[in-house]
Structure 1
Amino acid sequence: MSRDAETIRVYGAEAARYADVTKDAAKDPVLRLFLDHLAMGSHVLDLGCGPGIASAAMAAAGHTVTATDATPEMVALAAAQPGVFARLATFDDVTDVSAYDAIWANFSLLHAARADLPRHLFALVTALRPGGLFHIGMKTGEGSQRDRIGRLYTYVTEDELTGLLQEAGLTPFETRTGADAGLDGTVAPWVTILARKTTDG
Structure 2
Amino acid sequence: MYARFLPHVRPGGLILDAGCGSGRDALAFRQAALLLGQEVPVLCFEDVAWQERFDGIWACASLLHVAPADLPDVLRRLQRALRPGGVMFFNFKYGQGQRHSPDGRRFTDMDEAGVRALLDALPELSCLDMRTGEDDRAAELRERWIQVLVRRIPSSD
Q: Hey, what does 1:41 align to over in structure 2?
A: 12
Whether 1:180 and 2:140 are equivalent positions in the alignment is no
Query: Does residue 146 in structure 1 map to residue 117 in structure 2?
Result: no
Of 79, 83, 104, 1:125 maps to: 79
Residues 1:157 and 2:128 are matched in the alignment: no
In structure 2, stretches of 5+ residues that fail to align are none
C-alpha displacement of 1:167:
2.0
- Note the C-alpha offset of 1:53: 1.4
Aligned equivalent of 1:60, options 31, 53, 61: 31
Poorly superposed stretches of 4+, deviation over 6 Å = none
Match of 2:59 in 1: 105
Offset of residue 122 of structure 1: 0.6
Q: Following the alignment from structure 2 to structure 1, what is the Cα–Cα distance between the partners of residues 155 and 75?
A: 17
State the AA in 2 paired with 1:87.
P
Q: TM-score, normalised by structure 2?
A: 0.87
8 Å CA contact 1:38–1:133 kept in 2: the answer is: yes
Alpha carbons of 1:163 and 1:143: their partners in 2 closer, same or farther (altered >3 Å)?
Answer: closer
Task: Report the alpha carbon displacement of residue 45 of structure 1 after superposing the two structures with TM.
Answer: 0.6
SS of 1:92's equivalent in the other structure is helix
Amino acid at match of 1:189: R
Deviation, structure 1 residue 147:
1.5
Looking at secondary structure, tell me which structure has more helix per residue: 1
Q: Which has the higher contact order (CA 8 A, sep 6+)?
A: 2
Unaligned runs of 5+ in 1: 1-29, 65-81
Structure 1 vs Structure 2 CA RMSD = 2.0
Secondary structure of the 2:52 match is coil
Distance 2:135 2:147 in 1: 13
* Pairing 1:22-101 to 2, within 5 Å after superposition: 30-62=1-33, 83-101=37-55
Say how many residue pairs are matched.
Answer: 153
Deviation digits for residues 73-126 of structure 1 (CA, Å, limit 9, x no counterpart): xxxxxxxxx654322111111011111111101110100010000010011101
Matched, 1:195 2:147: no
